[in-house]
A and B are shown apart, each in its own frame.
Chain A
């Protein structure tokens, strides 16, 4: 259609004004969206349907485009491995020699640790289930540092789950949809992570600022941190489990304490999403583990190992206790209990000193007097 035949061809519209009106309308829309955004909260509904749909589309698309890059990276690594095989072999041998010494030390420490746990009746956290995923896109700008992982709701991922690489903590999940999860990195300006200095137990908040090294804020105490101190999650607030490696403390050029992130040591391509919700989840898992254990015999007082003297067990309870102690529990606590038993200053009738006659035994007969069925501290498998 020719221009002159167009019914609007002769219409003179003040374009600058109409463009200005369109601009104002667009600005109003953007301001409303910005003010209503709550992306960093733990409320899954706050993430929004638009974001979920965007992530669900982006994950397979960027995953497709990332595949050639991954092939190239693997090829480069293969070539490097071929050319540097000799020097790498020498280095690995040296590391292996050093690791052998560490292995011996670690075994000794593990044994000591198990004995201490048995003595104290310490309940450590059960292992947290996790999901492996691959990151398919990342935002590296100063105002948003996020990654998209290709595992989502179908694998049990929920908002708030911590995410780790093989080297350390990467961030936490802020949005989930089917097939994709949005990870808020520790470097994002909205990220706040409770951490502690491993050496001094001093608490701090790791606050991202869009740069590669997040700040350590709210440090208290006298000289709470030194250059090179290891940082781990403190578990305060119940958002993250305690003890996840975060990085190393360094003093920035601006005089502030910052963290060199452990996850920066290598490309973050594969990640592990810990299916951790809060500490009540750990308590539930611990209770479930306890329920799997054989029912402990009733006793008038809980048996103890070594720390305090236990009251002598009744004649009826003592034989009933033996099979229960001998029933297999998890591997870590049982040798510890056995190792601790000879040193325990408890009376002879103490069940902790009872030898393990058989691996599998029937449940003990109920005792005549009911008592709180608390398991012996040495038998708590976690």
Chain B
């Protein structure tokens, strides 16, 4: 009986992690059509938020750290920039998860926007300190908006795994 078994970590942590990394690779391809490039959303923001909402876990921060380091290496960003920013998202969602419990879809989207905004703000600040320059606010806003559009995937992840483990019912 499948429902009585505990949820294996690879199902709610491993698979989304790999999916995010693959999508990041695909969206980094230098494809340009009609003068426009592909957008660059931060896919790992989805599991970083959803994992904290689903349940506290020891493995989840490690997964977030791995995703962040992958982004840093793959995008050529300062090593640790996205790792730290995503961990801030995870931490904020973890702190506020009691308030998020049972909230409606739009409210959860707002929470997602707030935690993503914290991560982007942190990345903006760290970059400013590291490079002694201010990043273009338009470019930051554009990436933030594109990342916000990924909330349905976070909602899907939460819906699927929030009540999937018998030990947490």
Q: Which residues of A contact B (CB under 8 A)?
A: 3, 15-16, 18-23, 25-27, 29-37, 39-40, 48, 50-51, 54-55, 58, 61-62, 65-66, 69, 73, 76, 135-144, 146-148, 174-175, 182, 184, 189-190, 207-211, 267-269
CB-defined contacts of A32 to chain B, threshold 8 Å: 80
CB-defined contacts of A136 to chain B, threshold 8 Å: 29-30
Shortest distance from the beta carbon of A62 to any chain B beta carbon, whole Å: 6
Question: How many Å lie between the Cα of A25 and that of B59 in the bound state?
Answer: 12
Given contacts A23-B87, A143-B77, A267-B30, contact A15 B166 (CB under 8 A): no
Say if the beta carbon of B15 comes within 8 Å of chain A: no
Task: Find out whether the CB atom of A65 lies under 8 angstroms from the CB atom of B80.
Answer: no
Question: How many Å lie between the Cα of A33 and that of B134 in the bound state?
Answer: 21
Given contacts A23-B87, A50-B73, A141-B143, contact A267 B68 (CB under 8 A): no
Q: Which residues of B contact A (CB under 8 A)?
A: 4-6, 25-26, 28-33, 37-38, 40, 55-62, 64-65, 68-69, 72-81, 83-84, 87, 90-91, 94, 123-124, 126-127, 130-131, 133-136, 138-140, 142-143, 166-167
Task: Find out whether the CB atom of A137 lies under 8 angstroms from the CB atom of B40.
Answer: no
Given contacts A144-B75, A211-B138, contact A31 B84 (CB under 8 A): yes
Task: Find out whether the CB atom of B75 lies under 8 angstroms from the CB atom of A141.
Answer: yes
Give the contacting residue for B25; candidates A35, A37, A137, A175; CB below 8 A. A137
CB-defined contacts of A143 to chain B, threshold 8 Å: 77, 81, 123-124, 127, 135
Given contacts A15-B57, A189-B135, A207-B133, contact A62 B28 (CB under 8 A): yes
Shortest distance from the beta carbon of A171 to any chain B beta carbon, whole Å: 11
Task: Find out whether the CB atom of A209 lies under 8 angstroms from the CB atom of B136.
Answer: yes
Question: How many Å lie between the Cα of A190 and that of B140 in the bound state?
Answer: 15
CB-defined contacts of A27 to chain B, threshold 8 Å: 84, 87, 91
CB-defined contacts of A50 to chain B, threshold 8 Å: 73, 79
> In this complex, what residue of B is CB-closest to A140?
B40
Task: Find out whether the CB atom of B28 lies under 8 angstroms from the CB atom of A210.
Answer: no
Question: How many Å lie between the Cα of A73 and that of B131 in the bound state?
Answer: 36
